[in-house]
Amino acid sequence: MRTLDELDVEGERVLVRVDFNVPVDDDGKISDDARIRAALPTLRELRERDARLLLAAHRGRPKGRDEKLSLRPAAERLSELLGEEVALAPSLDDVPDGDVVMLENVRFEPGETKNEPELAKRYAALAGAYVNDAFGAAHRAHASTEAVAHLLPSAAGRLLEREVTTLQGILRDPQRPLVAVVGGAKVTDKIGVLSAFLRRADRVLVGGAMCFPFFKAQGHDVGDSLCEEEGLEPARRVLDGGGEKLRLPSDLVAGRELSADTEARPLDGVDVPDGWMGLDIGRRSASGYAEVIRDAGTVFWNGPMGAFELEPFAAGTRTVAEAVAECDGVTVVGGGDSAAALAQFGLADRIDHLSTGGGASLELIEGKALPGVEALA
């Protein structure tokens, strides 16, 4: 992968693909600007190296032009953070001059998600070099992430570079023991990651609703727990091949329904009675996981241990998050909800690497090639 060290940018207008797909409230306010801030090192470096910036980004999944998914809020926030005016280009045919210009949502262009060469040519005509810093979009082969990279001198931005080296580093040469903590809602979302870590990690700790297909496969009662039916077969395969490394919870916290004021009670064991749902891992499981995590040389965590958004079911995720924060080894966290959990507990700045790309980080861990990264090889 070529990096910014190998790209001539002085005096050029550089097309920079960034991931500014940030949450915006109804009144147009950005509720979390982490992705914009994550791009600042690259943007500042390019400005210091005397480049002019033409930024390209997507927001949401528009079908054609849709003012509600304009990048104007992102352009305004970037302008505050960068301390420079950021002009928004209304269309590809109407790109204003200026040191920092941002294109409208690239997904307003019908060819963008089809990776259309004609559209890529129009992007390339606007700049003298291309930098991709949008790790969160690197698993997609789109015109602004893939095709355009072949048409200009191109390189990875600092964020993309750090994401790829950190995540590949965990796979290739981790400090041991390597502990993977995998949770979240659906086992089918995470099955590739589970398999990858069962090959490479020393311990794989499983939590969240994705436990229930495992428990069901083992013959336990899951009650009304969220239990993905399509997850049963994959869970069975993992159980057959998992061996000693794989750990599932041994106790749970159950609730009547998915709400904060529901009746809640601890379960000593993993059989969930009818009329109850398992909504968190239990105290014994959480402290057992925490012990393993604190002693790890490397931790990769993706997916909460329970319905952490609801206070009665947050303890398992909090215990795990605190252990990751306290671990002296290399700590890496991926996944939007896992990042939200860390923020909720005030622990986000105690993690070595908080990945900005959910899907992209999982695909990289699974060993898949990311089209946006391959194009920079």
Q: How far is the CB of 317 from ligand ADP (least distance, A)?
A: 8
C-alpha to C-alpha distances, 344 to 321, 322, 352, nearest whole angstrom: 10, 12, 17
Given the complex with Mg ion, which of 47 and 186 has the nearer CB atom? 186
- What element of type H or E holds 332? strand 330-334
Whether 128 is a known active-site residue: answer no
Kindly state whether residue 272 participates in binding ligand ADP, applying the rule CB under 6 A: no
Whether 60 is a known active-site residue: answer no
Structure-block tokens of residue 187: 């086992």
* Binding window for Mg ion (CB under 5 A); candidates: 219-227, 242-250, 314-322, 334-342: 334-342
Whether 29 is a known active-site residue: answer no
> What SS3 class is residue 201?
coil
Question: Cβ distance 241 to 191 under 8 Å?
Answer: no
Kindly state whether residue 304 participates in binding ligand ADP, applying the rule CB under 6 A: yes
Q: Residues near 201 by Cβ (< 8 Å), separated by ≥ 6?
A: 177, 178, 179, 180, 245, 300
Helix boundaries (H) for the chain: 34-38, 40-48, 72-82, 117-124, 158-172, 187-200, 211-217, 232-242, 283-294, 315-326, 336-344, 358-365, 371-374
Which of 136, 208, 234, 288 lies at the binding interface for ligand ADP (CB under 6 A)? 208
- Cα separation, 30 vs 374, in Å, equals 32
Q: How far is the CB of 365 from Mg ion (least distance, A)?
A: 15
Kindly state whether residue 337 participates in binding Mg ion, applying the rule CB under 5 A: yes
Catalytic residue among 17, 35, 140, 200: 35
Structure-block tokens of residue 213: 């297909």
Given the complex with ligand ADP, which of 157 and 255 has the nearer CB atom? 255
86 binds, among Mg ion, ligand ADP, none (CB under 5 to 8 A by kind): none
* Site size for Mg ion (CB under 5 A): 2
Which of 302, 331, 355, 356 lies at the binding interface for ligand ADP (CB under 6 A)? 302
213 binds, among Mg ion, ligand ADP, none (CB under 5 to 8 A by kind): none
- Given strand 277-281, what is the order of strands in its sheet? 264-267, 252-255, 277-281
Catalytic residue among 122, 186, 256, 284: 186
Instruction: Single out the residue of 152, 145, 158, 150 nearest to residue 130, CA to CA.
Output: 152
Which 198-257 residues touch Mg ion, going by CB under 5 A? Answer: none
Question: Cβ distance 63 to 23 under 8 Å?
Answer: no
Binding-site string for ligand ADP from residue 312 to residue 341, where x marks contact by CB under 6 A and - marks none:
-----------------------xxxx---
HSE-CB for 285 with a 13 A CA cutoff: 27
Whether 186 is a known active-site residue: answer yes
Q: How far is the CB of 304 from ligand ADP (least distance, A)?
A: 5
In the chain, the amino acid numbered 297 is G
What residues line the site for Mg ion (CB under 5 A)?
Answer: 336-337
What residues line the site for ligand ADP (CB under 6 A)?
Answer: 184-185, 189, 208-209, 226, 278-279, 302-304, 306-307, 309, 335-338, 358
Active-site amino acid positions: 35, 186, 336, 359
